[in-house]
Structure 1
Amino acid sequence: MHIKNILPLFLLATMLSCNTKTVTKASDYSQYLSTNINTPDLLEDVNFWTNKIENSSSSYSYLISRANANTKVFNITGEINYLIEAEKDLLIANTIVKDTDAGLLKNLAGNYISQHRFKEALALLKKAEANGKKLNGTKKMLFDVHLELGNYIYAEAYLNEIKNNSNFDYLIRLSKLEDHKGNLAGAIENMEKAMAIAESSNTKGMKLWSYTNIADFYGHAGEIEKSYAYYLKSLELDPNNAYAKKGIAWIVYSYENNPKEALNILNHITTYHNSPDYDLLKAEIAEYKNDKKLKSQSLKNYLAATNNKLYGEMYNKYSVMLFTDDLAMPDRALEIAKKEIENRATPQSYDLLAWSYFKKGEITKANNIIEEFVIGKTFEPSVLYHVAEIYKAAGKTDKIQPIKEELLASLYELGPLMEQKINQL
């Protein structure tokens, strides 16, 4: 079995002794831990366009503007209702023009991508493609959606249609594809090229995108100092960027073994940005600290948040892992995993299905799923850990050692709670 080498093995000792190393300084990022989002200010644009809509007989362009304003509020706050309000406006606007505006179809598809409604996004993008206008942009989004749906042949075909090695949008997608294939070096190389284009054009959005993504890739490659530096560069551009702050919190927790400071950063983020997955990260760190009260409360917060039907299928992956690993409710996990297969039959989704069966004690079924749908099709460390556990239960011990070496080399990415589990494989 071919498994990608996320890290050369000579880095293994460095990773295992990471708790003695420090790359972050609170003085670097403390200035960014004072974000105070004023919701009335944030809603100024939304209210402006609402007023225009209420006082106009022709509201088409105003609906799109209000949708974009609501989307911006969602991106800053993580509050799902703003994304749903944006969807409502885009649907009304699309009813007015009856699927004839390719730009609007793509805007609505982007909203559905954010909601993990990938099949519906694909249907809209096919309409935009048939429309024939601004096809390059449509093909970029078709690549994105096919990759999310696990339609890798289609994704690659669309990427080839927009091939341009000096184009930012092409390079970031090529980088994403290389990462999917397990070629981390290629992913980094192409993201670095994209970053150079972003910096030469001095476009804030492009720079921010490339900085946060390259920071992730450097982290996976064990280049923690570089990862940290680019999260900081992201915050210089956007001091409210919750994703970059979360990245720093992960370095502090997983690399520097400082759960208290990691929680301090996360507690700051959740004062203004509400994504349920932050509660799961808090729960993980609480478990590492052996703080049972905090873990219990964080899991309750996650369940309460995702009980909101507006989230739809957005948190299926997280919920499967919660119901299998923390709450010992494999039947509930299996139910959600089957839904996720319907939504997107990717190797990662099949991993969730296999893991749910494994937790139910159905080892043969779990093994058959990973053999057919997972092995060699994804190289995510969390998935490989599940593969190793299922192989162990199935008595395929000869296949475990190479995976174990890979997992030990990926400890930073997996988090410190995993070290003992991996060593017991």
Structure 2
Amino acid sequence: MSVLDILKERGFVQQLTHEEEIAELLEKEKITFYIGFDPTADSLHVGHFLGMMVMAHMQQAGHRPVCLIGGGTAMIGDPSGKSDMRKMLTREDIEHNGERFKKQMQRFIDFTDGKALMMNNADWLLDLNYVKFIREIGVHFSVNRMLTAECFKQRLDKGLSFLEFNYMLMQGYDFLELNRQCNCVMQMGGDDQWSNILAGADLIRRKESKPAYGLTFTLLTTSDGRKMGKTEKGALWLDAEKTSPYEFYQYWRNIDDADVEKCLALLTFLPMDEVRRLGALKDKDINIAKKTLAFEVTKLIHGQEEAEKAAEAAAALFGGAGNLDNAPTVSITSETVGTKLLDILASTGIVASKSEGRRLVQQGGLYLGDTKITDPDFLLTADHFSNNSVLIRKGKKNYHRIIIE
């Protein structure tokens, strides 16, 4: 089975520029391809996860990935999928964020001996001569055609800056530059990048009279079309300091039943026969599939040991057996004991604010152990602790442990 067949079977492939040519190319040759990563945050998030899995499948088939850090384009901002203009970052911010990506990518991609490359488009974009660039590159772009691209149409009503309008030219130039530097012949990306990928492949054909290809993969969405990876704290980050391994595990443990098989196919390396077997489980048995998904995904991002700790903490909190040491834990001093519970929850970040805590109490969603809290002025005293520890539950599934230092 070719790598394209694998990507199709697992549900990655959304659009291709030249399907028959790509199928033959990937089967007969070992190519260099690239995926761009936008360094506007100091961690990759679950939306980048799909791209990393695609790169891993491609590398396992013998193809060479280029992980392109968008250090230059991030100083402009990609309008794709955005209703507002992005905040502009400094070069220092972007370089810092790009460095943070490297460690996360190395769990998936082997960079030794040139098997994969990590490059930064700031190396060629930031020193461009604008007049020369417009004469050499801009002449090949039709404004009328650009305005039909979905990424621009979405922004026209609110206002599209000329700065952002340049983004397609910049990304097209990236593909051209990578083709010249390392014979990169294919760009891959999320389906919201289709217009930009087409522009780059077309530019190479015009400038170099050589074939170039594009492939987009599906965006990670729920069965009802919502983007995956949003938690009550915000994005689902791949950095353990921003989203703990336990929180990461619990996100996948609690996804909708309808999304389990798709996520097993896209986000794990389990054989497809096993993916289909787990995806076919129904009713209570689907929890077996969810536990498998949560463990496999957490293992990929955080390693075997952290996945085991997260699974053990979940078993202790929800099954009544196991070690609570790995559950989400906050510490308070002995002097804090005897004060209002909501003050403690707000100061430790278990709730965002006292007003949120009061709403939880009013809605019957706050528990101390198995006891529902009904009084917003409830005092947390030493009697509530066992072995210097007490459990707080928000809603049905959100647990935190408070310990006395």
Q: TM-score, normalised by structure 1?
A: 0.27
Report the structure number with the largest CA radius of gyration: 2
Whichever structure has more helix as a proportion of its residues is 1
Higher RCO by CA contacts (8 Å cutoff, separation 6 or greater): 1
Whichever structure has more strand as a proportion of its residues is 2
Q: TM-score, normalised by structure 2?
A: 0.27
